[in-house]
Structure 1
Amino acid sequence: MNLEARKLEFIQEFLKLQNEEVVSRLENLLRKEKNVSDLRTFEPMTQEELDKRMDQSESDFENNRFKSSSELLAKYD
């Protein structure tokens, strides 16, 4: 059985579920697996990219293009 057929069979079985707890557990499992998958595809930035970001940040700060933490916190109060 190929992957597409397995996924379709899983979806059909999932749609038959009547137990909310089982659905919640499957949702949690899917989220966890997605997070693990995302971590596997994570690519750290290169030293050059990091240096460029730091230069841009320093330039922004020197040219007063930033918000203080109190300004950011006030936005969400």
Structure 2
Amino acid sequence: MEESFEKLVVNKPKLLIFEKRIEKMDLQTRKIVFVQEFLKLQSERAISHLESLLKKETQESQENPLSIEEYQTRIKQSIEDSKNDRVTEADDLLSEIEKWS
């Protein structure tokens, strides 16, 4: 039990740093951080879900590229969601992913 607590204390600050830094990262940096976090995953189910999501997103983007207007609409909606606190915190997402296994 003590070992788990130490890991939690050590990992928690790293996660908080990640959460705060993600807002200021450019797309390329976010991709690198995502890949690094993905490589740490141990859950077969979580990896399968992410693979499915990637496949779906790749197919959709190839089949239906967005227009500039659609991108702008999505950006405005995302900003509005953020202002109205319709977001998922990183801790909550990680907890949900862990339940997948």
Task: Give the TM-score of the pair, scaled to structure 2.
Answer: 0.39
Is residue 2:64 matched to residue 1:40? yes
Where 1:18 maps in the other structure, the secondary structure is coil
Instruction: Map 1:16-55 to 2 at 5 A.
Output: 16-41=40-65
Paired AA for residue 43 in structure 2: N
Structure 1 vs Structure 2 CA RMSD: 0.8
| Structure 1 residue ranges without an equivalent (≥5) | 42-77
For the pair shown, the structure with the greater C-alpha radius of gyration is 1
Is residue 2:26 matched to residue 1:2? yes
In 2: Cα distance, 1:15 partner to 1:6 partner: 14
In 2: Cα distance, 1:12 partner to 1:23 partner: 13
Paired AA for residue 40 in structure 1: N
- Aligned length, in residue pairs: 41
Paired AA for residue 33 in structure 1: E
| Structure 2 residue ranges without an equivalent (≥5) | 1-24, 66-101
Paired AA for residue 20 in structure 1: E
In 2: Cα distance, 1:37 partner to 1:10 partner: 20
In 1: Cα distance, 2:64 partner to 2:48 partner: 24
Paired AA for residue 27 in structure 2: L
Larger relative contact order (Cα-Cα within 8 Å, sequence gap ≥ 6): 2
Larger helix fraction of residues: 2
Give CA-to-partner distance per residue, 1:35-56, whole Å, 9 cap, x none. 1001124xxxxxxxxxxxxxxx
Percent identity at matched positions? 51
In 1: Cα distance, 2:64 partner to 2:45 partner: 29
> After TM superposition, which residue ranges in structure 1, 4 or more long, deviate above 4 angstroms?
none
